[in-house]
Structure 1
């Protein structure tokens, strides 16, 4: 299996008080920094201007952007530091992306997908042929003091 770099999500909250050209410059500089550092932008999404749940730097709204990137760890550290000190960036966060269920299904062997539900059921439930929650296997685990389900 080929070695794939993990995908990270970079979320940017840009100040709506900053001029449009300043916000555009921040976005192009972020993309350029990722490319220079040996990473790549897989996908970028502009979520537009949204109200914040709480005020950040005396601002009620922010322009949201999401980047899906691949990058070496050193680049992530440098990028995070640079975004913290950049005027016009209210918040930024880089997290490792969770693969989608479709992506995980493609990575599993065919036998694991076919037996996925069966592996989750208790052995007693499979032996009795029932996956009903009121089955005897479940009732055995209820203590008499606590009552029934």
Structure 2
């Protein structure tokens, strides 16, 4: 099965537990349709570059999945219909990276950054 990475932004007026509940809800949609969630991360409330639906901030969430294309399409369809989800981005990747995402790593742990002069 192909590998996917999903990022979605939920409304800022949700609580942290409600936002994490969305991750579980959409993860069960994938598993019910024959896929599996490899990893999921809750990135917290972040300020966005521009307003979306009159919101300046949003709850960011990240999921790695191994699922067939129809399962991913069904999850995206349900995300777009859900009132609390503002944006969805799904990317197909060749393989999942080990460890936490770059967003969750500490600044000094990121070895790919170059030094400033």
TM-score (norm 2): 0.74
Task: Give the Å deviation of 1:87.
Answer: 1.3
Distance 1:57 1:36, change over 3 A: same
Aligned residue for 1:38? 34
- Structure 2, unmatched stretches of 5+, are 99-117
> 1:70 and 2:102 equivalent?
no
Cα-Cα RMSD: 2.0
CA distance, structure 2, for counterparts of residue 45 and residue 97 of structure 1: 17
Larger radius of gyration: 1
Distance 1:101 1:27, change over 3 A: closer
Aligned residue for 2:85? 89
Distance 1:73 1:19, change over 3 A: same
Partner secondary structure for residue 79 of structure 1 = helix
Equivalent residues in 2 for 1:120-139, closer than 5 Å: none
Partner secondary structure for residue 25 of structure 1 = helix
Higher normalized helix content (fraction of residues): 1
Deviating runs (4+, > 2 A) in structure 1? 18-25, 98-102
The correspondence for 1:22, drawn from 8, 15, 18, is 18
> 1:9 and 2:16 equivalent?
no
Equivalent residues in 2 for 1:45-64, closer than 5 Å: 45-64=41-60
Q: Which has the higher contact order (CA 8 A, sep 6+)?
A: 2
Distance 1:6 1:87, change over 3 A: same
- Structure 1, unmatched stretches of 5+, are 103-149
Deviations 1:14-47 (A, max 9, x none): 1111244432332221111111111011111221
Deviations 1:122-149 (A, max 9, x none): xxxxxxxxxxxxxxxxxxxxxxxxxxxx
